[in-house]
């Protein structure tokens, strides 16, 4: 395939509404269809957001010949099944975070995508955010010396009226903790030790997790996520010669500051977002698919699966402590 790719959105909820404008903004892709489980909802979304075609049935969109890439914007507990159906229908698939509910589900999807010769990626827009890219480049250049610590948090209670989390459908860790955990993995890789404490609902849904990751030396990451209270959304990366602070929300920020050990005031860096901040990811995926790639080099499936492995371990620690 070369040139423009044709995209279809599955789901018409919060993230579909947040990203549809950015899909229109991204070059090299055409948003051609949306699918909902309900005809009226699909039609209303298509009319409100200038999407040419709509389907009141997800499988009808998956069967459409003129859709190349399916963007799954449905609840986490549906991702594994819908992504599998989309891949089997021959589509390239971009899946909202978290890619799946467990690392094993994600491994199965990765194997299927390879077998089908189709692109698959978790929509980890943080990896394509210009400020986060700047941090990774600065760290690689040694701007803050040797990085020793990551501190990051993200969490807030669900707004009244939103659907409660279901067992197997993701809790705080998959819904919000995935960002702090991904940031730690981007900077340090796979931890050698995982400690966690938190709060788990009686049915096993994780509500709060305070996570401490070690890396076989003195480096560590201290991470916090919660569905029970607002725990902030900042991130600090500490090094031997300085520190970088990503302003909240760190995974979608337009600004950061760099404090060096020798200066009293941090250097401010502003990197404004395009649209709602999803454009760089959509552009990167569209280019990768058009180039015939099955994964994006900046967000390969093995990295996504490694984060899910850590989340599985953290969840197991919480469940063991709660004796659920
Ligand atoms: N990247 C970000 O900034 C960001 C922010 C928020 C959420 N998310 C992620 O986006 C995904 C969706 O979250 P959301 O907040 O948009 O949720 P949401 O508002 O509940 O919307 C999800 C939509 O999925 C569809 N859906 C629900 N259950 C389904 C099922 N069983 N099978 C097929 N479709 C189903 C529904 O659309 P229809 O009624 O039209 O079928 C629903 O409106 C999650 O993975 C979440 O983690 C990402």
d(CA 166, CA 204): 9
When pLDDT is cut at 50, 70 and 90, the band that residue 2 belongs to is low
Q: What is the pLDDT of residues 157-204, one digit of tens each?
A: 988 877 678 877 889 999 999 999 999 999 999 999 999 999 999 999
Q: Is 97 a residue of the active site?
A: yes
13 C-beta closer than 6 A to ligand 1: yes
**Pocket test residue of 9, 10, 15 for ligand 1, highest count of atoms within 8 A of CB:** 15
Mean pLDDT computed over 49-62 = 98
Catalytic residue among 97, 127, 185, 299: 97
Structure tokens at 290: 């058009």
Q: What is the pLDDT of residue 310?
A: 98
Residues 6+ apart with CB under 8 A from 151: 221, 222, 223, 235, 236, 238
Span from the CA of 220 to the centroid of ligand 1 (angstroms): 33
Q: Which atom of ligand 1 is nearest to the CA of 162?
A: 20
78 C-beta closer than 6 A to ligand 1: yes
The domains found in the chain, sorted by start residue, are: 5-124 (3.40.50.720), 127-277+308-322 (3.30.360.10)
Q: What is the pLDDT of residues 244-273, one digit of tens each?
A: 999 999 999 999 999 998 888 999 999 999
The C-alpha angle with vertex 288 and arms to 101 and 175, in degrees rounded to 5, equals 20
pTM: 0.97
The C-alpha angle with vertex 208 and arms to 207 and 214, in degrees rounded to 5, equals 135
Structure tokens at 68: 């190349």
């Amino acid at each position: 395939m070369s040139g423009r790719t044709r995209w279809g959105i599955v789901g018409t909820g919060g993230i579909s509404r947040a990203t549809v404008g950015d899909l229109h903004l991204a070059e090299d892709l055409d948003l051609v269809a949306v699918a909902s489980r309900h005809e009226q909802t699909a039609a209303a979304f298509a009319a409100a957001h200038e999407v040419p075609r709509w389907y009141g049935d997800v499988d009808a969109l998956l069967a459409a010949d003129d859709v190349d890439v399916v963007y799954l914007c449905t609840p986490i507990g549906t991702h594994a099944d819908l992504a599998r159906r989309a891949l089997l229908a021959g589509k390239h698939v971009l899946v909202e975070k978290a890619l799946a509910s467990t690392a094993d589900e994600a491994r199965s999807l990765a194997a299927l995508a390879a077998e089908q010769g189709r692109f698959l990626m978790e929509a980890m827009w943080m990896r394509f955010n210009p400020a986060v890219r700047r941090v990774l480049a600065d760290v690689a250049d040694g701007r803050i010396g040797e990085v020793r610590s990551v501190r990051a948090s993200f969490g807030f209670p669900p707004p009244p009226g939103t659907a409660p989390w279901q067992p197997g459908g993701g809790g705080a860790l998959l819904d919000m903790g995935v960002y702090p955990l991904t940031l730690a993995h981007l900077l340090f890789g796979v931890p050698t030790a995982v400690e966690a404490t938190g709060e788990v609902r009686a049915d096993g849904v994780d509500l709060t997790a305070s996570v401490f990751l070690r890396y076989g030396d003195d480096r560590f990451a201290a991470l916090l996520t919660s569905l029970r209270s607002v725990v902030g959304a900042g991130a600090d990366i500490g090094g031997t010669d300085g520190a970088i602070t990503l302003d909240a929300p760190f995974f979608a920020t337009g600004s950061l500051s760099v404090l060096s050990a020798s200066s009293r005031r941090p250097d401010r860096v502003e990197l404004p977002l395009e649209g709602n901040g999803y454009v760089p990811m959509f552009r990167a995926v569209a280019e990768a698919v058009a180039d015939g790639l099955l994964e994006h080099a900046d967000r390969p499936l093995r990295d996504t699966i490694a984060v899910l492995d850590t989340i599985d371990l953290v969840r197991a620690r919480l469940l063991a402590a709660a004796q659920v």
